[in-house]
Structure formats: structure tokens, C-alpha cells
Amino acid sequence: MTVQKSLWFPLVISLEVILVTLYAISVHANGGNPFPLFDVNGARTLPSWLQAIQLFLLGALPLWMCLTYRNSAVPPSRRLLAFTALLFLYASLDELLKLNFLANHHQLWKSIYLAVGLAVPILFYRDLLRLFNLHPQAMRLIGIGILIFLVCGFGLDLFRVHVQQPYWYQLFGRWKFYQVDSIRTALEELGEMTGETLVLKGMVALAQRRWSQLAINNIPH
């Protein structure tokens, strides 16, 4: 399965669109309260399970590559693989159980995630440059996915705090708050899931090409 022929990709994107659409519809139909099964902010709901599975795969793939790592000549390095695996596996558990909401520090944990994410290109810039030179298409997919995730996951959250709430009546006076916020939340969650799916697609391609290179060079992995 190549990057261009990944049939799972449009299926997952379609499922993500369906789930956030059902969330927005349920909010409007139920007077501001989403149906529990489709609540994008709830624990162990359908959107939560989907994101948790995506994040688990994003952690399991580099973990497997790290555990079977044998040669430093073939990037990525073991340090980057281990760091990435731990980050995504924790994020998967956090998404499923909503640990940040339980601790009542949702905004703090978002800031921590952002800081850790921004630290990756600083700490592992040599790794990332080598990967981009060897696998530009896969790395572009990963980069685009991360950008979409940041713009939607953090940008729309900042929009809610700094624009939507303080200027509500000037901008959306004719609408009920939950009507607009449900659309914003749906777009935020769709962007996050789409970004994660793009990163996963790029990471799968990266792993396939790395293993192919190891096989060609007759290096055990």
C-alpha cells in the first residue's frame, strides 16, 4: 500500500466528517446538549474513541520502529522515535479518558502539548532534515497534518476565548451561543482529526520506506 493508494484515508476522513456533523446536528436538535454518543468533548464517545485510536497508532508505529531499531545510518533516530511514541501514547490515553478535564486544567494541558510539540523541531532538527531529504513526500504530509491540527486545535480555541466570547453580541447577536459554538467546536475537532489522519498517513509511508531501505541494504531490523 503506497501513500497514493491508501484506501483507508478517504474512509477515515469521511467518518470524521460524519461524526462532527452528527455532533453539530445533535446540539442544535437538543437545545445545546449533544447526544452523549457523539459528544466530541466527552470521554469514551465515538469521536473520542476514533481520536484515541488514531493517536495510539501514531504512538505504536514509532514505538515498534524504536524497538526494532538497529542502525543509526537509517533515520529517524531512536531518541526521536521514543519521544514521539511516548507523546502520542500519552495523548491517546488522555483523549480517551479526558485526563486534562478531570484535573480541571484543560487550557494548561493544551499549552503544555503546544510547548512539547514546538520543542520537537528544536531538539531533533537534524533528524527532521535527514528525513525530509530522504522522504520529502511523507514529511510534507506530516507537516501539513501538524499545521492543520495547530490551526484548528489551537487557533479556533483562541478565537473562542478572544473573539467569540468578548464580542458575542456584536458578531452573533441574532444567534444563540450554542448554535455558533457547536459549529466552531465541530470545525475544531474535524481539523484535529484530519490533521492526525494526515500525520498517520505520512508516518505509515515513512515506516514503509524505511523498512524497504533496510531490506535493500540488507540491514536487519
Q: Are 77 and 124 in contact (CB under 8 A)?
A: yes
Q: Over the stretch 171-210, which tens digit does the pLDDT of each residue have?
A: 666 677 777 888 899 999 999 999 999 999 999 998 887 7
Res. 101: pLDDT tops 80? no
Q: Over the stretch 4-33, which tens digit does the pLDDT of each residue have?
A: 456 899 999 999 999 999 999 999 888 888
Signed CA dihedral, 114, 155, 148, 20: sign only: positive
Q: Are 24 and 182 in contact (CB under 8 A)?
A: yes
**pLDDT for 217:** 60
Q: Are 209 and 156 in contact (CB under 8 A)?
A: no
Q: Over the stretch 55-78, which tens digit does the pLDDT of each residue have?
A: 999 999 999 888 887 667 777 888
Mean pLDDT throughout 109-128?
A: 83
Q: Is 15 helix (H, G, I), strand (E, B) or coil?
A: helix
Res. 103: pLDDT tops 60? no
In whole angstroms, what is the distance from residue 29 CA to residue 93 CA?
31
HSE-CB for 176 with a 13 A CA cutoff: 9
Beta-carbon contacts of 182 under 8 Å, excluding residues fewer than 6 positions away, are: 23, 24, 27, 28, 32, 34
**% residues pLDDT > 70 (the chain):** 84
Residue 199 burial (C-beta neighbours within 10 Å; 0-12, 13-18, 19+)? buried
Cα angle, residue 113 at apex, residues 112 and 119 outer, rounded to 5°: 90
**Which residue type is seen at 171?**
L
**pLDDT for 82:** 93
**pLDDT for 42:** 84
Domain residue limits, the chain:
8-216
- Alpha-helical regions (H) of the chain: 8-29, 46-67, 78-97, 99-102, 106-123, 125-134, 136-150, 156-159, 168-172, 177-216
